Amino acid sequence: MADDKDQRYDPAAIEPKWQARWAADPHLYAADPPASGKPKYYLLEMLPYPSGQLHMGHVRNYAIGDALARHMWMRGYNVLHPMGWDAFGLPAENAALKNNTPPRQWTLGNIAAMKRQMLRLGLGYDWATEITTCLPEYYRWNQWFFLRMLEKDLAYRKQSKVNWCPDCATVLANEQVIDGCCWRHEETRVEQRDLEQWFLRTTAYAQELLDGLDKLDGWPEKVRTMQRNWIGRSQGAEVDFRFERSMHDLLVEQSGEAKPAASQTHQIIRVFTTRIDTIFGATSVQLAPEHPMVGTLASADHGLRVQVDELIAEQKKARASGDLTAIDKHGVPTGHFAVNPFNNELLPIWIANYVLMDYGTGAIMSVPAHDERDFEFAKKYALPIRRVIAPADPNAEEPELPFTSEDGVLVNSGEYSGLRCAEAQKRLQEVAASGAFGEAKITYRLKDWGVSRQRYWGTPIPMIHCDRDGLVPVPDDQLPVVLPENIEITQQGGSPLGRVPEFVHVKCPKCGEPARRETDTMDTFVDSSWYFYRYTDAQNDHAPFDSAKAQHWFPIDQYIGGVEHAILHLIYSRFWTKVMRDLDLVANDEPARRLFTQGMVIKDGAKMSKSKGNVVSPDDMVARYGADATRMYALFAAPPDRDLDWQEDGVAGVSRFLGRVYRLVTKYSCVAKSNAPAARETQASPTTATLLRKLHQTIARITLDFEGRWHFNTCVAAIMELVNELQAADAELASGEVPAPVVAELLRTLVLLLAPFAPYLAAELWEDLGGEGAILRAPWPKSDPGLAKEEEVEIPVQINGKLVTVVRVAAGADSKSIEAAALTDRKVQLRVAGKTVAKVIVVPGRAISLVVK
RNA sequence: GCGGAAGUGGUGAAAUGGCAAACACACUAGCCUUAGGAGCUAGCGCCGCAAGGCUUGCGGGUUCGAGUCCCGCCUUCCGCACCA
């Protein structure tokens, strides 16, 4: 017996050794140039925010990606597997406030720490293409893209109501407001502020973003649905209702006691509806409390002002609580009227708390007979309810109201009565358009992307405010507009850059007169909207990337990340790709062919969080069990798309398994290396056949999983089964009953199969077995179907649907011999005795089923 | 309300319509020892001494055969939501 110490699996010795060797070979994980002729495979995991520490979610994400990358390398693909840092953002400023550390220093320090963790985990990234979004070499291209969008009218500035988070002291995009609260501060209610802001015209691509989802069949249905909901297309029409003042107002006006408000005399209320076919059933018009006309009306009527303010307050509160449906529908009559352009009926105008200003036109026509909400409202205020749609089937019973089906026929609708709903919608839209009082209209919930942030740690928006020339873009040759260093960070309103005179004061590029720089910075989601293109040409200093290089690699073959980015990042980056395509920079319409969203890592049934105190540190795990065991457990404990409950005992179990593999391989590596004459032609022992069969079955299972299903948990289980079987055959291996070349094949293949999941141990054992070159480029094993085939199979026998017994037959046995075997079985004969076999169903190799009467 | 995913042992889970619970964890008993976060052997869904019976959220259906397919419910998680 050799020294036991040497037989002990010690990741703390093996892993740093290989880490150093890999670090010394910068080409190991680098992609070949396009000319290599190998098929390309662009595999990407979402880049992390450099908070300072990897968390288990990262480890899982990267363990999945790295296993796949290693497998693809072994399959002979030219793999692009890059990593970078999403390095702008508020936490750096908060840290600056707290520790008095400059954001840049804090961020770069965190990057160094996290990169060390990634290297320690043995993740195979090509660090030559690393990107860091907070460095000018990167963010200057954000500015460059911004200017291109400005030229194409895809970037613009407007005064608007914006979401303001008091804790971030900055504006948020709609996508960053969750249930009325900030995405970073779940307890902080977002306020509305009126500010001049820069916007990117995402709505210009709303329809294409929606249509593109149908073709993204490599994306999870869940993500596609979420994006469809977010884009929120609805098809309908806008119709103008003429404003008609109340009788009281007219009388007062005629008596000369009050001056008419000129602006109100010929006003028009434009409503949006998806059911223009029901317009003859409209019995009132409802305005959102924040509708501009309400403001005008209320300015002359103090009582109304108070009521309206109350409605607005209710909406805000409901929005903050996240459930708008819960608030009680109510409203305030204005006393004024709107004229239905189709029948000139006078409809009372109400202000209602359930009508939203930020959707459609902020005004609706109320058709109680055919809309749930309108019905509820009309009941409450005893407004008339007029049915104008009848079921399509003339024999159908009188429908209960509200009758919201569109499968119907118009009634009580003048000359349009008798038309089907769909026809009527078309006709009425045409009539409205030809009479210039309406048009067909498609409304989206998606809004333009507000990208201005009043913070320091972001990309400066490359614009200059000149008193003479207005808004002047920074010329391309003056990019980048560099973020100044060593500035004072405060949380008090306004951009910190506004307090840096040497940044603000600039000469106008047009007239040369003194001017002011824009002091807002860009939303950090700009950085991540195109970063993956930069990986294809990370060092380029005269363009964001070379289009030819991007075209070679794009689209991304596989993108992997958390589902929490389903809306924000994944819509913005799809938008950016379409813009770049229209700038002739790329040829692809979509950034990623396939998207995989891995499940969360949880502990004791709850998401890991500092406040719950259930955070498991990757460093701890690596220190105790090694990187291989940590990574392999992350793949073994659950299929990658499901949530994973972190149980440390499980990591210990995987670690023990790796120890068994280590002992097994090192014990027989001498035999495997012995170069004994290939003696396989002699009668193979049963054990040899069994082991080879198991081996080739395992290769087939794992290979199949890598090709799409990705159930790496069962891949690991399959390797465990193989090892269990090898261990069970220890006597035969030790006695030499299994020939040396077979031992070599068994062990070498085992190590190759292990390589994507436990790269350190695989590299160590590969070397021990005398494997040539890096195991990363060793060919992935092929399953030999002849060796994998079972000689005998067990066939379950069912009688009248019940399992009775199992019979053994030769693997290729035909239906007749299976039937014969079943019918001669003792248990079967006992049950069949005295009865007739009415029917026999045989699925060769699978099952036999008898129907007995 | 709309949409998506899921529901199987004490736990994580496995199962192209064909022997439910593979592989692990935990546990139990035993062995070994250089006493280790080690190794080995055996047991481990439920009821039962056993023979045997029962078991994949609930109720139906299709089928020779259903955890798997279909219909209807229930529960949980996620996303969207007075979207006109």
Cβ proximity of A603 and A645 under 8 Å: yes
Residues 441-470 of A with CB under 7 A from strand B: 443, 445
Residues 697-756 of A with CB under 7 A from strand B: 711, 713-714, 716-717, 720-721, 723-724, 727-728
| Burial classification of residue A667, based on how many CB atoms lie within 10 Å of its CB (0-12 exposed, 13-18 middle, 19 or more buried) | middle
Residues A469-497, mean pLDDT to the nearest whole number: 87
Q: pTM value?
A: 0.91
pLDDT at A674 over 80: no
Structure confidence at residue A262 (pLDDT): 45
Residues 381-400 of A with CB under 7 A from strand B: none
Q: Name the protein residue, with chain letter, whose CA is nearest the C1' of B26.
A: A649
Structure confidence at residue A493 (pLDDT): 62
Residue A651: nearest nucleotide (C-alpha to C1'): B25
Give the HSE-up count for residue A89: Cα atoms under 13 Å, Cβ half-sphere: 18
Rounded distance in angstroms from the CA atom of residue A600 to the C1' atom of nucleotide B68: 26
Q: Does A805 contact strand B, using a CB cutoff of 7 Å?
A: no
Instruction: In whole angstroms, give the CA distance from residue A788 to residue A689.
Output: 9
CA-to-CA dists, residue A821 to A420, A807, A840, angstroms: 67, 7, 13
Residues 101-130 of A with CB under 7 A from strand B: none
pLDDT at A548 over 60: yes
Token reading at A486: 């060593």
Q: What percent of chain A has pLDDT over 70?
A: 94
A433-466 per-position pLDDT tens digit: 999 999 999 989 898 998 998 889 999 999 999 9
Task: State the ipTM, two decimals.
Answer: 0.94
| Burial classification of residue A831, based on how many CB atoms lie within 10 Å of its CB (0-12 exposed, 13-18 middle, 19 or more buried) | middle
Is the model more confident about A424 or about A406?
Answer: A424
Q: Name the protein residue, with chain letter, whose CA is nearest the C1' of B77.
A: A643
Rounded distance in angstroms from the CA atom of residue A113 to the C1' atom of nucleotide B76: 39
Structure confidence at residue A646 (pLDDT): 92
Residues A618-629, mean pLDDT to the nearest whole number: 95
A186-238 per-position pLDDT tens digit: 777 778 788 888 999 999 999 999 999 988 988 988 899 889 988 989 889 99
The pLDDT confidence band at residue A538, using thresholds 50, 70 and 90, is very high
For A205-317, list the strands marked E by DSSP: 234-244, 268-273, 284-287
Structure confidence at residue A5 (pLDDT): 42
Residues 221-280 of A with CB under 7 A from strand B: 221-222, 225-226, 229-230, 232, 234, 236, 272-275
Rounded distance in angstroms from the CA atom of residue A750 to the C1' atom of nucleotide B42: 28
Q: Does A643 contact strand B, using a CB cutoff of 7 Å?
A: yes
Q: Does A757 contact strand B, using a CB cutoff of 7 Å?
A: no
CA A136-A134-A463 angle, 5° bins:
60
Residue A271: nearest nucleotide (C-alpha to C1'): B84
CB atoms closer than 10 angstroms to residue A540: 14
Residues A76-102, mean pLDDT to the nearest whole number: 91
Rounded distance in angstroms from the CA atom of residue A335 to the C1' atom of nucleotide B77: 48
Q: Name the protein residue, with chain letter, whose CA is nearest the C1' of B13.
A: A638
pLDDT at A41 over 90: yes
Q: Which of A191-195, A222-226, A258-262, A610-614 has the highest mean pLDDT?
A: A222-226
Q: Name the protein residue, with chain letter, whose CA is nearest the C1' of B2.
A: A229
> What's chain A's average pLDDT?
90
A561-573 per-position pLDDT tens digit: 988 888 889 999 9
| Covered bases, chain B (protein CB within 7 Å) | 3-5, 11-16, 18-20, 22-26, 34, 37-41, 64-66, 78-84
CA-to-CA dists, residue A268 to A194, A331, A793, angstroms: 25, 21, 81
pLDDT at A612 over 80: no
Residues 2-21 of A with CB under 7 A from strand B: 3-5
| Burial classification of residue A731, based on how many CB atoms lie within 10 Å of its CB (0-12 exposed, 13-18 middle, 19 or more buried) | exposed
The pLDDT confidence band at residue A257, using thresholds 50, 70 and 90, is low
Residues A329-340, mean pLDDT to the nearest whole number: 92
A147-189 per-position pLDDT tens digit: 999 999 999 999 887 788 888 778 877 767 777 777 777 777 7
Residues A67-81, mean pLDDT to the nearest whole number: 97
pLDDT at A485 over 90: no
Cβ proximity of A545 and A583 under 8 Å: no
pLDDT at A290 over 80: yes
- Say which residues have a Cβ less than 8 Å from residue A311's Cβ, sequence separation at least 6: A289, A331, A332, A351, A352, A353
pLDDT at A488 over 90: no
Structure confidence at residue A686 (pLDDT): 87
Instruction: In whole angstroms, give the CA distance from residue A243 to residue A390.
Output: 30
Residue A324: nearest nucleotide (C-alpha to C1'): B82
pLDDT at A677 over 70: no
Residues A59-86, mean pLDDT to the nearest whole number: 97
Q: Which of A353-357, A635-639, A807-811 has the highest mean pLDDT?
A: A635-639
Comparing A91-100, A135-144, A672-681, A813-822, which segment has the lowest mean pLDDT?
A672-681
Residues 351-370 of A with CB under 7 A from strand B: 353-357, 359-360, 362, 364-365
Q: Does A324 contact strand B, using a CB cutoff of 7 Å?
A: yes
Rounded distance in angstroms from the CA atom of residue A752 to the C1' atom of nucleotide B35: 35
CA-to-CA dists, residue A129 to A53, A69, A114, A120, A208, angstroms: 21, 16, 16, 19, 31
Q: Name the protein residue, with chain letter, whose CA is nearest the C1' of B80.
A: A229
Residues A684-690, mean pLDDT to the nearest whole number: 87
Q: Does A583 contact strand B, using a CB cutoff of 7 Å?
A: no
